[in-house]
Amino acid sequence: MLDPIVAFFTRIFELIGRAIGTFIAWLIWPFIAFRNWLRGKGWFIKIPVFTILLLIVLSYMYLFYITQFWSTGDEDYVAAYKFEETTTGVGDQLADNTCQQSAMVQVAADLIDFNVNQTVWAPSNPLYKAGFMFYWDWKDTPFFDNKAAFQLGVNQVLRRTSIELVDRLGRVRGTSSINQNLQEARESINYRENAWFLTFSPPFLQPSTQARLRDGRQNLIDFNEEMKACNADFDARADNLMQFFDRITGDIGATSEILQRRMEASNFTGFDARADDRFWFTYGQLYGYYGILSAARSDFREVVVQRQLDSVWDRVDDQLREAMTTKPPFVANGSNSSLVKSHLESIGFDLLRVRANLVEMRDILDR
């Protein structure tokens, strides 16, 4: 009775072994073909070839390092600013005859510093853009795209903030001239997110994304120096704050829609190679808005007090900080019938809670 069962499982294991062997053969055949081609060649060919191979191996090792050994930073980074100790509104004159700088501009500059100076900007790495062996996109892997997705999420917040600073906040009632530093910061921050310093089209050299972001950071710092010298404007009116909330809720709503579409692809196993980049982009977005919204609360402190927004804003701060605690080693996208939880659903819930409270504060300002 046992013989047919033993034969069945033996056959199964044989098929599995054959499949594994076929896969390994498919994986290594380019290397075997390359070795056969190189055999018999002179050293004047072998030395350049081996040099190029060594550079490729070292480049992939570097890519592995920057994409696997990374950190989301300090989840309590907002506390270091001590915004609650600031008693003057943005632009107000201080005792030393200087003016109060913008907390939003300061946090935006620090987020750029965190993204490109304290760590390596991954999306511009040429091997990251090329994918594995120029064939397999890293976005289809469970781990190699996580850092890039997080950085792009933070950068999305910076892009939105820079636009609002130019269009409304950095000028008086939209009638004054656009501040040059803010205009240049917006152009730099909204530059292509995956630009390397070399390109295939003339003139073959271009500013990298990192370089442009550093330029944008310096422009933001220069604007705050103008604020300190009382030579720049920051229009901290209630309608500007309401407009900013509108933009943020629209931004968050778009991300929520992306998460929802990805959750529709959930399965019983919970494995989804595209779920991780959706999760970490959202995490980066929440991380960025945690700092920017805390800074906006400081810049708009008079509006917050007058419209009694403190209690609702406290909820937003708590929800954003709580969202920072969810950092799974592996992002799962389990279906409703699965025993595996969906991390997309979890962070999507945090996202919608923040959005709901921003809508509530927007409605209070609109009364």
- Residue 63 to residues 123, 159, 266, 273, Cα–Cα distance (Å): 11, 26, 29, 19
Distance, CA of 321 to CA of 116 (rounded, Å): 23
- Reduce the secondary structure of the chain to three states and give it as a string: CHHHHHHHHHHHHHHHHHHHHHHHHHHHHHHHHHHHHHCCCCHHHHHHHHHHHHHHHHHHHHHHHHHHCCCCCCCCHHHHHCHHHCCCCCCCECCCCCECCCHHHHHHHHHHHHHHCCCCCHHHCHHHHHCECCCECHHHCCCCCHHHHHHHHHHHHHHHHHHHHHHHHCCCCCCCCCCHHHHHHHHHHCCCCCCCCECCCCCCECCCHHHHHHHHHHHHHHHHHHHHCCCCCCCCCHHHHHHHHHHHHHHHHHHHHHHHHHHCCCECCCCCCCHHHHHHHHHHHHHHHHHHHHHHHHHCHHHHHHCCCHHHHHHHHHHHHHHCCCCCCCCCEECCCCCCCEHHHHHHHHHHHHHHHHHHHHHHHHC
pTM for the structure as a whole: 0.88
| pLDDT value of position 138 | 78
Q: What is the pLDDT of residue 143?
A: 79
Q: What angle do CA 163, 168, 174 make, to 5 degrees?
A: 135
**The predicted structure's pLDDT at residue 3:** 66
pLDDT tens by residue, the chain, 367 residues: 456 666 766 777 777 878 787 877 776 777 777 777 767 777 777 778 778 878 888 998 999 999 999 999 899 999 999 999 988 889 999 989 999 999 999 999 999 999 999 999 999 999 898 887 666 787 777 778 999 999 999 999 999 999 999 998 988 765 678 899 999 999 999 999 999 988 877 777 899 999 999 999 999 999 999 999 999 999 999 999 999 999 999 999 999 999 999 998 888 777 888 899 999 999 999 999 999 999 999 999 999 999 999 999 999 999 999 999 989 988 988 877 777 888 999 999 999 999 999 999 999 999 8
Residue 174: its pLDDT value, please?
55
Beta bridge partners of 99: 93
Q: Model confidence over 290-338: pLDDT tens digits?
A: 999 999 999 999 999 999 999 999 999 999 999 999 899 889 888 777 7
